[in-house]
Chain A
């Protein structure tokens, strides 16, 4: 499709050793960081602004603008968000393991642009191998004098600390991540006033950028903002990594410019649906995104604007494909279970609502649903995300709560009959409940046990009894 490869070029050209510093330097690596040392903050910020680079962590906010908002107080910090935990997303892991120096160079450029002398790489705890590969790269960079004091012989110092997460999705949210990095519970902070650019890590100005975002920076400097901006579709500049998973023949990460259609992505790039089955639905941007269905969205262009116009988002770039054998109630239950498990518990609508939604969905899937359950589900959802609008009207501290209703919106809009069929038959019409029972989630028959379980299991959830107030 798109011939332009930017962040995965090196790993494709050098499949065995793209992670090594010698290969990295032989292929143009660290040239731009060296150049950046001689550039001013304004030059760098303007270049990145002009490139149109959008954040790749989910919110798609202009990276250059974000940098320009950094408050003047110093020290300032840089935190690289490598907490990648949105179900369906596995792109950052590939960048971390296969081309860690590209990210390190991006970190150096960001640090110089933002007068930062200490950067943190927050890697999710379940990625120890990624952390090891990044540590190896950071060690090499230190040994070469690209990190540490006086990098590249300049008077700019830059320390890098790798921090491993503890298994909590919510820490991907930037203010939760900052709390976590401060050694606290990973609970999101209210914005305002706690915008990281002004009151971030240790209440100091902080830039939080995604792994893929900073991995683009060496290329922006190399190509120049204008050339980089030409690899684009309308306003979405550069390439984007799509993590495609589910019922496709060719799951994997694909680097593409925007502008192709979903049909092309699913049927050509990702090789079509396994066993030539029919496509039922797909999630265009990670577990948080409202679903798309073939009848309405297959020929829609993949752009930020078109996706948002159709009531969803490209989010983290995760495309989860479901074929005709998928029980959408079960899929919705699994997604909602995720949010219920990962809710940090600060906001009542999110904490209580997601747990209720999970229970209702599970009982429908198990054949114990009632006629009123879909309405009840919508009612509970409405309590978390008023009017079930997309983008949601925010009633919670962070967007996790409202994201949990996306699967329910899909059931309401596209799969109402399938939900009702579960209720009428007293079982899953697609026969997946039988498989569900094998999930040893045997507490399903005993709702009171389930409620206790859910609370106990929620490691990153509602405050356990007797834990006192949050630290």
Chain B
């Protein structure tokens, strides 16, 4: 008996079918497990082990290698501030500080309510729009300290169901690495990447 919902089980089967060998599905299944529980629980990892036919210890060994598999309770909104070289040169440290200060959450931690987690991250490939921030891996480029504070307050008050990159860029962003061109209507629903089959599909505005 799987601990996962019917829907998640269907997705798990579908994901596994895309690989020549079951074990290759470990990473996408770990994201599924995160989506089920909000973060990666021991039970989630055990379930993944059953699906791909390896031991829970092997799954844990894989999960612990990658920074995006959060094995501790993570807020509904994960705010990641880039403090790598190009962002650092343009004030990335100040952005992190503003986010920590406004939210009262030091990097690496989550608030009591389980709403916000804050972390500093290495380069997120937005150096031309530095300093850059992601919320649940949805990008905002050209952020200022003031806008970073606004972002924290917005997340706390608006509590968006879906975190949308275009909306956040409009509200809190500035200079971008390049013209994004494509606007999407959906986005992230938790602190894991919003990619099929995790509930959001990247539908373009107007489709």
Contact = CB atoms under 8 A, between A and B. Distances in A.
Interface of A: 11, 15-19, 75, 84-90, 92-94, 97-98, 118, 124-129, 131-133, 135-136, 159, 161-169, 180-187, 202, 243-247, 251-253, 283, 287, 318, 320, 322, 326, 330-331, 334-335, 338, 341-342, 344, 435-436, 438-440, 457, 459-460, 464, 467-468, 470-471
Interface stretch (B5-13, B120-128, B149-157): B120-128
A127 B125 contact: yes
Contact of B178 (A161, A164, A186, A252): A252
A322 B195 CA distance: 35
B181 A15 contact: yes
Given A252-B128, A330-B88, A338-B123, A183 B67 contact: no
A334 B83 contact: yes
19 contacts: A19-B182, A84-B125, A85-B122, A90-B127, A126-B121, A129-B202, A132-B196, A132-B200, A132-B202, A165-B66, A182-B24, A183-B21, A183-B62, A245-B127, A246-B127, A251-B130, A338-B123, A438-B94, A439-B93
Contact of A440 (B20, B96, B202): B96
A126 B182 contact: no
A338 B85 contact: yes
B65 A436 contact: no
Closest 9 CB pairs of A and B: A166-B66, A132-B202, A459-B67, A183-B26, A167-B68, A245-B127, A128-B193, A167-B67, A183-B23
Contact of B122 (A90, A341, A344): A341
A128 B194 contact: yes
Most buried by A among B61, B83, B106: B61
Given A166-B66, A338-B122, A439-B93, A183 B127 contact: no
Query: Chain B interface residue count: which class?
Result: 35 or more
Given A94-B178, A180-B27, A439-B93, A85 B125 contact: yes
B115 interface: no
A244 B128 contact: yes
A322 B127 CA distance: 13
Given A97-B180, A247-B89, A320-B86, A89 B125 contact: yes
Interface in B80-123: 83-86, 88-90, 93-94, 96-97, 100, 106-108, 120-123
Nearest to B179: A15
